[in-house]
Amino acid sequence: MKNISTKTASQVVVNFEIATISHRLGAFAIDMLILGGAMTVVLMLCISLDWVGDVMGYLLFFMFLFYTLAFEIFSGGSTPGKLAIGLRVLKFSGSPASILDYVIRWVFRWLDIWMSLGAVAAGFNITSPYGQRLGDVLAGTTIIKFDKKEKILLSDILEMKTKKDYSPHFPQVEMLTDVHMLLVKNTIFRYQTTKTKAYRTVVSELVLKLKTELNITEKTDDPIKFLTQLLKDYVVLTR
Question: Are residues 123 and 202 located together in one domain of the fold?
Answer: no
For the residues 142-171, what does the mean pLDDT come to?
64
Q: Is 171 inside any structural domain?
A: yes
Examine residue 56 and state whether it is found in any structural domain, yes or no.
Answer: yes
In-domain check, residue 106: yes
When mean pLDDT is compared over 48-57, 66-75, 86-95, 218-227, the highest value belongs to 66-75
Query: Read out DSSP for the chain?
Result: --EEEEE-TT--EEEEEEPPHHHHHHHHHHHHHHHHHHHHHHHHHHHHTT-TTHHHHHHHHHHHHHHHHHHHHHTTS--HHHHHHTEEEEETTSSBPPHHHHHHHHHHHIIIIIITTTHHHHHHHHH-TT---HHHHHHTEEEEE--TT----HHHHHTS--GGG---S-GGGGGS-HHHHHHHHHHHHHHHHH--HHHHHHHHHHHHHHHHHHT--S--S-HHHHHHHHHHHHHHHH-
Same domain, 132 and 98: yes
Looking at the fold, whether 180 and 137 belong to one and the same domain comes out as no
Q: How many domains does the chain have?
A: 2
More confidently predicted of 10 and 37: 37
- Judgement on whether residues 180 and 70 belong to the same structural domain of the protein: no
Tell me what percent of the residues of the chain surpass a pLDDT of 90: 39
Asked, for residue 68, whether it belongs to a domain, the answer is: yes
Res 151: pLDDT: 46
Mean pLDDT calculated for residue range 205-230: 88
Strands 13-18 and 3-7: antiparallel
Domain endpoint, select from 145, 172, 203: 145
Quickly state the pLDDT bin for 152 (edges 50, 70, 90).
Answer: very low
- Shared domain for 34 and 9, answered yes or no, is yes
The domain boundary residue, chosen from 94, 112, 145: 145
The domain of 38 spans 3-145
Q: Is residue 155 part of a domain?
A: no
Residues 50 and 131 in one domain: yes
pLDDT value of residue 4: 72
pLDDT of residue 161: 52
pLDDT at 156 over 80: no
Report whether pLDDT(224) > 50. yes
Residue 168 shares a structural domain with residue 50: no
pLDDT band at residue 67 using 50, 70 and 90 as cut-offs: very high
Inside any domain, residue 154? no
Q: Are residues 99 and 205 in the same domain?
A: no
Residue 171 and residue 221 in one domain: yes
Contact 181, 239 (CB under 8 A): no
Least confident of 3-7, 26-30, 123-127: 3-7
In a shared domain, residues 85 and 9? yes
- pLDDT at residue 60, rounded to an integer: 93
Instruction: Based on the fold, state whether residues 21 and 69 are members of the same structural domain.
Output: yes
* Domain end (from 87, 116, 145): 145
Q: What is the pLDDT of residue 10?
A: 45
113 in the same domain as 27: yes
Q: How far apart are CA 130 and CA 133, in angstroms?
A: 9
Q: Is the pLDDT of residue 149 over 90?
A: no
pLDDT at position 147 is: 60
For residues 159 and 194, what is the distance between their CA atoms, to the nearest angstrom?
27
Specify if 90 maps to a domain. Answer: yes
15 domain residue, yes or no: yes
- Would you say residue 230 has pLDDT above 60? yes
Share of the chain above pLDDT 70, in %: 85
